[in-house]
Chains A and B, each alone.
Chain A
Amino acid sequence: MTIDLGVRIDGPEKVAGVARYAADIQRPGMLFGRVLRSPVPHARIVAIDTEAARALSGVHAVLAGQDLPAEVRVGRNMRDMPVLARDKVRFIGEKVVAVAAESLEIADRALQLVHVQYEDLPAVFDPREAMQPGAPLIHDPATIRAWAVREQVVPDYPNGAAAPVWGATEEEVRDALAQADFVFEHAFRTPRQHQLYLEPHVCIVELDAAGVAHIWAANKAPILLATYLREGLGLERHQLDIHMLPLGGDFGGKGSFMDVPLAYFLARASGRPVKIAMSYIEELTAGNPRHASTIVVQSGVMRDGRVIARWLRGYMNSGAYAAFKPSTDTTLPGFRRGAIGPYDVPVQRSECHMIYTNTVPGGHMRSPGEAQTAYALECHTDLIARAIGMDAIAFRLLNGSTHPRVSETGGPGSPPRIREVLELASQAIGLDRERPADIGRGVALIEFNTTPGVYSAIMSITPDGHLTLQTPIIENGTGSLTVFRQIVAEEFNVQVDQVSVVQSIENIEVDRGVGGSRVTRMVGKLSIALAKQLQTRLAVLLAEEFGVPPAALAFDGGRFVADDGRSWSLAEAASLASEDLVENMTYAATPNDRAVTFMAQAAEVHVDRETGEVKPIRMVSVHEVGRIVNPMLFRTQIAGAVMQGLGYALMEGLKEEEGRVTMPNLHEYKIPTMADLPELEIILLPPDLSLGLTPIGEGPNAGMAPALANAVVDVVGPHALDIPLEPALIRALAAP
């Protein structure tokens, strides 16, 4: 049977404009929360005068840090962030005073009546300056250690939040580098980047008489949000009622709690529901952007092109708090993967220095950590190939990983198809073809893998055979609900209109939520397992009713078929049940569930030598794939990721001077529009079903920026280029 993929589940409501996002939620008696933010990067709070604000008619609550319990700190893992600044402020934009009032206008007027007296402290903005002896201390070193989480390695230098090291010791890597014929070292700087979802962070918190907090938030992972509120605010799970809402874009940025804890305290203080909606100015100046970084990478290379040693050090600008990092080691999950890349280097050492500065705290954005390290590693790789006179593809192939993957069942899986993806990308972009003047071409090779997680879902069937999958996954715009529906329909061999997908956290305790390009793979696997479980249960019902041994029943073509030729529909089987047919499953992924895929990105650019403009002409994205559920959604993930990679390389640097974001609006902060996009060719290798459901959302994002930079180097010569590429610099390098 051919299954019609149907329209996207979330499509009609969004197209008709009737989808209700967090900003659309109104509650009886609801107040509007607004916050006064710090105008200075680092200062002691001497005094806060809120008397006039409190006296203003229509104001129901005014809170400063001192009004909140001293022990309350929030964080996705390391809880180092106060809900409102206490004693001192650590970045421009930090929340200092909050009000809840009957209108936004009254709330804003109340904030104008608040007077805060600051005593400036020396501030530091660059991570490599912040780690030097004598640098201003942003947090008390003793509290950093006290608040560190289990896997967090706190370094000894000033302002270090975490500094894990992987691989060889310093001595081992130095010795190995000393053995090499050549040692190459390059440093690359990558910028802050804002996720630029259309919908800013919005939340509403309402407390009922029983002390339950009802929460509506632009947040992508309700179960994780509940965890953050439990740990940060000391609430119990039964005190949290989190509503599922459509999300107006995520790109990694909607996993944080943002203003929910503050709205909770305002609701508590005012006795009314409180909504806090960030303006886009607040988003750009005080959101949770991608971490800026400086990546220094050193490689020892033999004359024949073999890389025998590599030392990569990342200096990540954590901003003033580490609270937005969900990784259990308080770094970024993709850092190490991007630092090692798709290569086999015998001796390597990777260091991730997560350093506090007096700037906006960094958070997650599509391929967090990997976007930074993959940029550096793939540019470094091209520069080495050029320096030793080796072809960029041949150099990568010589050093590329050859280890077979581990299959989902734990046995040996298929080998990496590095050669195929690289050669297809090279041919498609014309890496070996003659280059017209000022035209450059470049490639990048990426290994992407998913990190495991725990997922839960509930599947049920009605007596008339209608299937329902209940999931706590938020539709963040990728079409995941539509993919789940299709997977369930395929497992039962029914049309998609016989399957409903319901978003709810009712009766679900654990779920890792949207992120890490894991959802289709993990929830897909869970849905398939639930379908099998439900089919088994239905078979047992049939077996009992009709006296057939369960082993003699097969589910085939949408029907249960006995070996004697009798068969029953889903509805016939389901109608036999005397109780609700509901299957509940929590699946904790094993290391074998990690998907590993390889991809190559390529770009062709024109460089205007007089102006320094870089115009992309063509882009190519080549992927190893496993089972693809919905080909259109799969391709749109690639296209979107490539577009964000292009923005990262060419324009999306959220600039800041002395801790002040100088791009506080969308006049100044630019992302690509359709007019900025060149032709994109997507090439998928024949599916390798042993890979299972392969991830797609993030890898192509990490690879396009270095492919573009390598194409620019092809024109301007071998230079370690910082991103976003500055036209004035490119012009200086390319001067005719």
Chain B
Amino acid sequence: MNRFAYHAPQTVDEACALLEQYGDDARLLAGGTALVILMKQELVQPGHLVDLRRVSGSMRGVEVQHDGLRIGALMTQRELEVSSTIVEHLPVLAQTLRKVATMRIRNMATLGGNLAHGDPSLDPPVALVACDALVRVRSSSGERDIPLDTFYVDYYETSLQPTEILTDVLVPNSAPRSHTVYLKLLPRSQDDYATVGVAARLTLDESGTRCADARVVLGAAGSTVVRARQAESVLLGQDATAAAFREAAAVGRREVDPLSDNRGSAEYKRDMAEVMIRRALLAALAGLHGS
């Protein structure tokens, strides 16, 4: 590991000032579960490490607001997994976090760190894109909200600027008659990256049978989180049936671009994307019917 200067700001403003000062040469440390490994492997060699863990206040907590949830980016994944507010208002996030790595990791890793890492195989970004989440980012020059859907640019690359800090995650209230699920395919160990991960949100119209809206989002299926928009559009206005889901899944498989690796060939993963899209939609429908 290279030598670096260590900074432990107490406020977000102080942290922003440090990023302003050191720019590209600084990296933010939250849980450290990803960054420290990258530093040990010397894939990342920052001159300045800005530790956010002493920043108090706004970057923590979960708040129920009138239009949705605000989650502080420094909340650990384990805190959120067991948060009664999350379990009640955003159960899909609690369910997704339970599938992330191991409890030891989740006790350290933060939600903000996970979203900002830009690894397309991670689980929470997939579920949160399906929930239309936004991330709030702050720099010395101000604050902006970015839809998570457009946040990811390429492998390990987001639209976050070197001077910006991801401070909050905003999750709008879901529409009535809506249910979201996340499925993670793990053919080897349960402690693994997804071979393919799929989040599906299904919103029914007033008739309670037709799809008014849908989200189909995949992880480990391309260079970024993949939103399968064509699969979503297949569903709009259609009756929510197994046949419709099958059709959407067949379209969705063409929207992914997975890599061959130790978890399977690109061809196998594409096949699995189709299987898992269908299963996720079926699970979302089952959730709507309360089963």
Contacts and interface: CB of A to CB of B under 8 A. Distances in A.
A675 B191 contact: yes
A662 interface: yes
A292 to B, nearest CB: 16
Contact of B262 (A668, A671, A676): A668
A80 to B, nearest CB: 31
B71 to A, nearest CB: 26
A533 to B, nearest CB: 50
A673 B272 contact: no
Nearest to B274: A610
A670 B275 contact: no
Nearest to B40: A279
Given A663-B262, A668-B262, A673 B191 contact: yes
Interface stretch (B110-118, B182-190, B202-210, B220-228): B182-190
Contact of A671 (B186, B187, B189, B272): B189
A655 B260 CA distance: 14
Contacts of A663: 262
Interface size class of A (residues with CB under 8 A): 20 to 34
A85 to B, nearest CB: 25
A611 interface: yes
B262 A675 contact: no
Contact of B190 (A610, A611, A676, A731): A676
A727 interface: yes
A672 interface: yes
Nearest to B192: A670
Interface string A607-631: 0001111100000000000000000
B191 A651 contact: no
Interface in B33-76: none
A611 B188 CA distance: 12
B193 interface: yes
A331 to B, nearest CB: 30
Contacts of A675: 189-191
B256 to A, nearest CB: 15
Nearest to B267: A728
B268 A670 contact: no
B265 interface: yes
Contacts of B191: 670, 673, 675-676
Contact of B187 (A667, A668, A672, A727): A727
A499 interface: no
Given A610-B275, A727-B264, A673 B190 contact: yes
B159 interface: no
A667 B265 contact: no
A650 B188 contact: yes
B192 to A, nearest CB: 6
B102 interface: yes
Contacts of A671: 189
Contact of A670 (B188, B264, B265, B271): B188
Nearest to A671: B189
Given A611-B272, A611-B275, A651 B262 contact: no
Counting chain B CB atoms within 10 Å of each CB, the highest count among A655, A672, A728 belongs to A728
Contact of B188 (A610, A651, A662): A651
Counting chain A CB atoms within 10 Å of each CB, the highest count among B187, B190, B195 belongs to B187
B189 A728 contact: no
B193 A667 contact: yes
A613 B195 CA distance: 11
Given A673-B102, A673-B191, A675-B191, A611 B185 contact: yes
A727 B268 contact: yes
Contact of A728 (B102, B192, B265, B275): B265
Given A610-B275, A611-B272, A728 B188 contact: no
Interface string A139-154: 0000000000000000
B189 A672 contact: yes
A576 to B, nearest CB: 57
A671 to B, nearest CB: 7
A728 B264 contact: yes
Contact of A611 (B102, B187, B193, B262): B187
Contacts of A655: 262
Contacts of B268: 727-728, 731
A196 B265 CA distance: 26
A612 B189 contact: no
Contacts of A651: 188-189
Interface string B260-291: 00101100100110010000000000000000
Interface of A: 610-614, 650-651, 655, 662-663, 667-668, 670-673, 675-676, 724, 727-728, 731
Given A613-B186, A670-B188, A670-B191, 19 more contacts: A611-B272, A612-B187, A613-B185, A613-B187, A655-B262, A662-B262, A663-B262, A667-B193, A670-B189, A673-B189, A673-B191, A675-B189, A675-B190, A676-B189, A676-B190, A727-B268, A728-B264, A731-B268, A731-B271
Interface of B: 102, 185-193, 195, 262, 264-265, 268, 271-272, 275
20 contacts: A611-B185, A611-B275, A612-B187, A613-B185, A613-B187, A614-B187, A650-B188, A662-B262, A663-B262, A668-B262, A670-B189, A670-B192, A673-B102, A673-B190, A675-B189, A676-B189, A676-B191, A727-B187, A731-B268, A731-B271
